[in-house]
Amino acid sequence: MIASMKLIDLVDSHAERIAEQWAKNVVKNPFTPFYHDKPVEKLVPQATRFYHRFRDLFMKPKPAEASNGYFSNYAAERYTEGVPLQEAVYALILMRRQIWLYAEFQATFSTAVEKQQAIDSVTRTMLMFDYAMYFITKKYRELMKLEWFEAPNT
């Protein structure tokens, strides 16, 4: 759990910097064209909020329950913005990747023992992002269905 806490502390204390790196990546990634014309400074708060919330989601005994509300809201916000589902999901994948790139760059897990302990962090982080993908796609489907039913018949 020590390695997990190290990662959580790193993400929380460097949330803005990690979010800036994520924003720079998402605006140029070929799988996220929706974001290409978005100003980086407008995107940073989206990722910063997530990175600050990371500790809470990561540490909950029942991460699925904690993730449901947060990622349903995340999905509703992206849906309202017009972000295609596949890009909303891929943007989140890039957020996850940015955590690990930043941690590796900072040499967060430098000793052999810490690297072994980091497996706990990887497993827990992957689980949280698995829940995120599920709840985001579920919410998008609900919103799309609602929009379809509310559309005037032509």
Q: pLDDT tens, 29-59? A: 999 999 999 999 999 999 999 999 888 887 8
Statement: residue 121 has pLDDT above 80:
no
Q: What is the pLDDT of residue 119?
A: 57
> Structure tokens of 123?
């497993």
- The top-level CATH class assigned to 2-149 is mainly alpha
Q: What is the mean pLDDT of residues 51-79?
A: 87
Q: What is the mean pLDDT of residues 70-95?
A: 93
Residues 6+ apart with CB under 8 A from 106: 10, 14
> Structure tokens of 45?
């708060």
108-114's contacts with Cβ under 8 Å and 24+ in sequence apart are 108/6, 108/7, 108/10, 109/3, 109/6, 114/2, 114/3, 114/6
Tell me, what amino acid is at 39? P
Residues 138-149: pLDDT tens digits?
899 999 988 888
Residues 89-112: pLDDT tens digits?
999 999 988 988 887 766 555 555
Q: What is the pLDDT of residue 77?
A: 95
